[in-house]
Structure 1
Amino acid sequence: MKYPVFFLLILLSGCEKLQSTPPVQQLPHVAQGSYAAALSDDGHYAAVSSIQDGVALWDLRTNALKYQWQHQDSSDNLVLNLAISHNNSHVLTADQHTYALWNITSGENQGYWQLDAATVRDVAVSNNGEHLLIGKSNGGVQHITLASGRRLEFLGHTERINSVAMSPNGRYALTGGNDYKAHLWDTQSAQIIYSFSHPSRVTKVALDPQGRYAFTADSQDLAQIWDIQSGQLVSKLQFTARQQVFSAVRFSRDGHYLATGAPTRKLALWDVQSGRELQQWQVGVKPDSRPPSAVVHAVAFLSEKQLISESSSGIAEVWEIKDDNK
């Protein structure tokens, strides 16, 4: 689930003081700030939603605007959920009732779909845009295979969905909802492989594209990393804040690190095996932001030495990973 601009004030009273080093690069994208954003796994692309520009796709290697997209019959352009396929082939965008698939190579739209019985809560897309995953407000999760038209409805949750993730090949899905559960399930059979319980509503989930780990976090103070081959707990993130909500998550390519973003400007790097926090930063804010606040919409590893973030301030920022973390 992405966090719109009006969510900026949440948790500010409980923020901890951060000793943050400045970014090594800032890439401006939206002067008035963004509602949502997604970064490709390799950090090459950013899809950014704003009231002024609709959905803008940026090539971050040159910080060049590649495409601008609009939803059909959308006057307010409130696209609040975006996802980029692992192989950089497609972008999936969604407002409350409509979702659309876009081809990154051609810029063309490959379909619009309407959701009538509920609202869209989060989305994911597989490689080549072959499979779509739609988390809904009524607790259902829809897995769509475009070539065949097959639509599978996963009904393992009893309350609304907050976050979804899908493996690059579309075979496995991880979903979390207000029923205090996260489920890893098979999208061919809708059978649950593992269920991960939390003491409060599950607000964020993520999958390692290499098939090693899953991340689940709730609305209070529990964030966990799981081995999805065995279903066993690997670690719990170690933090002292009474309440820690995550708005962005990414596993590193080697599986050693986890990067997270929060609605409180905080960007952090964690050790997967121990759950220990290794480094943290604060993303930038708009000059007129009072109080100074920003939601981290997305984070990705550019390399073993650099992270990139995209936040509601409308800026992508590059951050240096310290050598002593390795």
Structure 2
Amino acid sequence: MLAKLFTLACSIPFIVACSSGDAVSTSELASQGLYSADISDDAASSLVGSIQHGGSLWSNQKNERRFNWNHAKDEFTPLISVDIDPSGQYAVTGGARTLVLWNIVTGQSEGFWNTPGDIKSLMASNNGDFALVGLDDQTARYFDVKNGGIKQTFRTGAVVRSVSLDKAGSLAVTGDDNYNVTLWDVKSGQKLHQWQLSNRIANATLSLDGKYVFAAAQLGTAKIWSTSTGEVVSEISTGGLTSRNITYSRAKFSEDSRYILLGGINSSVKLLNVLSGESLKSWTLNKKDKLRPTGSSVLAVAFSTNDRFYAIGSNGLLNILR
């Protein structure tokens, strides 16, 4: 952990202007593309929901499939959303209306639940005790995925497209189709802050320490706010002045909350300074067929050591970036 923080602190400040990086390597996690993906916080594992073969957990270091995870025997489940918990010991997968908790060490399922609406997004709490699930019934539900039951219901008045938790499990954020980004107290269920962007919310992400919220609208604005004051910390450029606006489909804060990785639906990945919003480095994900290139949306991003970063595209490729 100290090595990870030391590497980030020492290497990133020397990037004084936005520069383009390279993909160190790529590996194929799915042949026909992906519905969903996540990378563990230590970048050791990738979890994907493939179009052709359902869910699978991969070792990034060995580039090998560890487990196949589906919600019904002899069937491939279309997984709408997947997440690996901050401890890296558990994962949650979401089908249309089914939610499953998996043990990453054993590969076994430890909880299977039905949801009251169609799943749009989800996130597992630390140690996989709970899962925050965004639904099409205009709510986000906080499930006890180990014991069963709904611990909290957050009513938004619109379809919830994106959800996130801090590592302590005390704060939750939702992004909905009414253009609202809402910060919630998990224990009481009360709204702490609410902000509005220019379109439906494509992504809403909390930093692990709960200090910041990032959110981006579809083809619209993107901002970072302070959870304590509710004030804007930085506004993120989406390219509207020079080209069509970027939609940021994925975000992850560094462990010290100084930096944020953003992935776009246009195959772009950016590293930014949280306080200034300045872009420090950028990449474009590799394409499978260079003779017939097709773009891919970024489904997952992660920080790693040695000034390297990870990203998974909807084309099924895991990219290691530097």
TM-score, normalised to structure 1, is 0.87
Partners of 1:165 and 1:281 in 2: CA distance: 25
Say if 1:52 and 1:180 are closer, same or farther in 2 by CA, change over 3 A. closer
Q: How many residues were matched structurally?
A: 302
| Distance of 1:77 and 1:150 partners within structure 2 | 23
Tell me whether 1:60 sits opposite 2:60 in the alignment: yes
Q: How does 1:279-290 map to 2 (within 5 A)?
A: 279-287=281-289, 290=292
Q: Structure 1, residues 93-137: CA drift from partner, whole Å, max 9, x if none?
A: 01111111100111110111112x421010111111111111101
Q: Is the 8 A contact 1:284 1:313 kept in 2?
A: no
1:304 and 1:188 map into 2 onto residues whose CA distance is 38
CA distance in 1, matches of 2:248, 2:165: 18
Within the candidate set 272, 277, 280, 1:278 is matched to 280
| Maintained 8 Å contact 1:152/1:190 | no
Alpha-carbon separation, structure 1, partners of 2:95 and 2:154: 22
Q: 1:73 to 1:153 in 2, by over 3 A?
A: farther
Does residue 247 of structure 2 align to residue 245 of structure 1?
yes
Partner of 2:23: 23
| CA 1:254–1:265: 2 relative to 1, 3 Å | same
SS in 2 for 1:24: strand
Distance 1:289 1:142, change over 3 A: farther
- 1:3 corresponds to: none
RMSD between aligned alpha carbons? 2.0
Q: After superposition, what is the alpha-carbon deviation per residue over 1:238-293, rounded to whole angstroms, capped at 9, x for unaligned?
A: 24234221111011122221111111111111111111222211101222884521
Match of 1:323 in 2: none
Q: Which one is further off, 221-230 or 283-292? A: 283-292
Q: Which residue of the partner structure matches residue 142 of structure 1?
A: 141
State whether structure 2 residue 197 is matched by structure 1 residue 195: no
Identity of aligned residues (%): 27
Structure 2, gaps ≥5 residues long? 1-17
Whichever residue aligns with residue 54 of structure 2, its letter is G
Corresponding letter in the other structure for 1:130? D
Q: What SS is found at the alignment partner of 1:118?
A: coil
Bigger Cα displacement from structure 2, 238-247 vs 195-204: 238-247
The alignment partner of 1:79 has SS state of coil
Structure 1 moving runs of 4+ over 6 Å = none
Q: Which residue is 1:10 aligned to?
A: none
2:127 is paired with a residue of what secondary structure? helix
Please give the alpha-carbon distance, in whole angstroms, between the structure 2 residues aligned to 1:123 and 1:147: 15
How far, CA to CA, are the matches of 1:70 and 1:81 in structure 2?
13
C-alpha contact (below 8 Å) 1:33/1:286 kept by paired residues: no
Q: Is the 8 A contact 1:85 1:168 kept in 2?
A: no
In the alignment, is the contact (CA less than 8 A) between 1:267 and 1:283 conserved in 2?
yes
Partners of 1:289 and 1:50 in 2: how far apart? Answer: 24
Asked if 1:124 is matched to 2:123, the reply is yes
* Cα shift at 1:138: 1.5
Give the Cα separation in 1 of the matches to 2:147 and 2:21: 50
Q: How big is the shift at 1:38?
A: 0.6
1:145 positional shift: 2.5
